[in-house]
Structure 1
Amino acid sequence: MTIRVLVVEDDFRVARMHVEFTDRIGGFAVAATARTACEAREVLAAQPIDLVLLDTYLPDESGLDLLRELTVDTIMLTAASDAATVRAAYARGALNYLVKPFTAEQLTDRLVAYRNYRAVVAVERGLGQDEIDRCWRVLHDGDRPVAPKGQSAVTVRLVSDALRRAGSPRTAAEVADELGISRATAQRYLAVLARDGMAEVRLRYGATGRPEHRYRWA
């Protein structure tokens, strides 16, 4: 299934960039762009749209006012970073919020997470609480944690990806062997992911009685 996207952005150069970023991702197609809230309403009335990428600053009215009306999934792409605007966007139904300027990778991460979320909720049956909780985690899987001081963002990404790929809980030694880093380094990064709620950690007791930490992506 292709996710049809509407980009609502008044700056044509920025809109073109959003279109290019989005069209590169499998499963997405930009169906239309709009410069104003009025144009966005016309598009939504004329054709099916699955996801709106919405700016706050539009020539005719605030994107937040438009957001209040929408019954379509929406991700905010905006320069507005004040707390009041962020709170209002989430209160009015935004699924995610990305502050300009951002990289293609940051937008890609969030769109891929949204695509995975859509796959979870596409089932034709009721969802159990565990599945509903998983929806939230999957939807925000693209919200990468910033590397703490003294740690590498690249290594955070590698360790995170190793946990996501794993079909079962992993130890620091297993992650270290896969990535070619030291066990101590793997343990340090895994501990940070667990502290930040990105990973779950469980203890397993072996024959010697010494506990072994095992991690899985949350």
Structure 2
Amino acid sequence: MIRVLVVDDDYRVAELHARYVTATDGFQVVGTAGSAARALELDRELAPDLVLLDQYLPDRLGSELLPELGADVLMVTAAADAGQVRAALGGGAVGYLIKPFDAAALTDRLAGYARFRLQLGADRTLDQEQVDRALRALHGTDRGGRPRRPRETPTGERVAEAVRGAAGPVTASQLATVLGVSRPTAQRYLADLAADGTVRVELRYGAAGRPEHLYSWNGG
């Protein structure tokens, strides 16, 4: 059984991802954390095999934790700019999954990781073909077709129209109130719009140091 620690500053998102993991054969959630400090504490306490790690945590960036975690790390985040992806992968993350995504997308990554661990599980010397096979197992599911994007759904269209019609930059919480959806739902659709350049994202730092995302229409 592969033991997983889920780290996300939004407890509802953490619970959702934990349900996805629990529904995947061969995986067990051993804990959830909402901050970098708690993630490090549980990593030492629980010794998980894999950490699902968000980038934007209230006390530190997730990518900053990579050298301090004893487990493998799959980044699971709305952070989609190339610099942050490079930092995470260069810091040792075994994969990078951009929010929003559905259960199937995470299950595919977890299945690839399980095959990767199986290939490298024994304490033995490997030849090049065996290393290549393990890497193909880890990333082989990335070659599938494009799933339906969240913005192509009725709710996605409503979120896009709300941003387009706003008088200025808006937050996920503001949009959630206007549209009558949860903040994580609004955040997922906004992240999808930001990923394809339809909206711009700016960061505004509050008193606690946690960045607030402001979204404004960028056309498209």
Map Cα deviations across residues 173-192 of structure 1 (whole Å, 9 max, x no partner): xxxxxxxxxxxxxxxxxxxx
For residues 124 and 94 of structure 1, the distance between their equivalents in structure 2, rounded to whole angstroms, comes to 21
Task: Answer whether contact 1:8 1:40 (CA < 8 A) is retained.
Answer: yes
For residues 41 and 12 of structure 2, the distance between their equivalents in structure 1, rounded to whole angstroms, comes to 22
**What is the Cα deviation at residue 89 of structure 1?**
0.5
Residue aligned with 1:141, SS? helix
Gap regions ≥5 residues in structure 2: 147-220
Structure 1 match to 2:74 = 75
Residue aligned with 1:146, SS? coil
Map Cα deviations across residues 47-79 of structure 1 (whole Å, 9 max, x no partner): 221000000000111111112322321000000
Aligned residues: 146
Structure 2 match to 1:214 = none
Structure 2 match to 1:126 = 125
**What is the Cα deviation at residue 144 of structure 1?**
3.4
For residues 145 and 6 of structure 2, the distance between their equivalents in structure 1, rounded to whole angstroms, comes to 27
Structure 1 match to 2:143 = 144
Q: How does 1:12-27 map to 2 (within 5 A)?
A: 12-27=11-26
Structure 1 match to 2:4 = 5
Task: Answer whether contact 1:110 1:141 (CA < 8 A) is retained.
Answer: no
For residues 102 and 130 of structure 1, the distance between their equivalents in structure 2, rounded to whole angstroms, comes to 32
TM-score by length of structure 1 reads 0.65
138-147 or 23-32: which moved more?
Answer: 138-147
Q: Letter of the 1:89 partner, please give it.
A: A
**Ranges of 4+ aligned residues in structure 1 off by more than 6 Å:** none
Distance 1:122 1:114, change over 3 A: same
Report the aligned-residue RMSD.
Answer: 1.1
Structure 1 match to 2:100 = 101
**What is the Cα deviation at residue 124 of structure 1?**
3.0
Residue aligned with 1:77, SS? strand
Structure 1 match to 2:175 = none
Residue aligned with 1:74, SS? strand
For residues 41 and 124 of structure 1, the distance between their equivalents in structure 2, rounded to whole angstroms, comes to 27
Residue aligned with 1:142, SS? helix
Q: Letter of the 1:133 partner, please give it.
A: D
For residues 125 and 134 of structure 1, the distance between their equivalents in structure 2, rounded to whole angstroms, comes to 15
**What is the Cα deviation at residue 43 of structure 1?**
0.6
For residues 78 and 124 of structure 2, the distance between their equivalents in structure 1, rounded to whole angstroms, comes to 39
Residue aligned with 2:32, SS? strand
**What is the Cα deviation at residue 38 of structure 1?**
0.4
For residues 142 and 124 of structure 1, the distance between their equivalents in structure 2, rounded to whole angstroms, comes to 26
For residues 19 and 64 of structure 1, the distance between their equivalents in structure 2, rounded to whole angstroms, comes to 20
Larger radius of gyration, structure 1 or 2? 1
**What is the Cα deviation at residue 142 of structure 1?**
2.0
Residue aligned with 1:80, SS? coil
- Bigger relative contact order, structure 1 or 2 (CA pairs below 8 A, ≥6 apart): 2
Q: Letter of the 1:64 partner, please give it.
A: S
For residues 50 and 11 of structure 1, the distance between their equivalents in structure 2, rounded to whole angstroms, comes to 22
Residue aligned with 2:15, SS? helix
**What is the Cα deviation at residue 26 of structure 1?**
1.0
Map Cα deviations across residues 92-117 of structure 1 (whole Å, 9 max, x no partner): 00110000000110000000010011
Structure 2 match to 1:189 = none
Structure 1 match to 2:193 = none
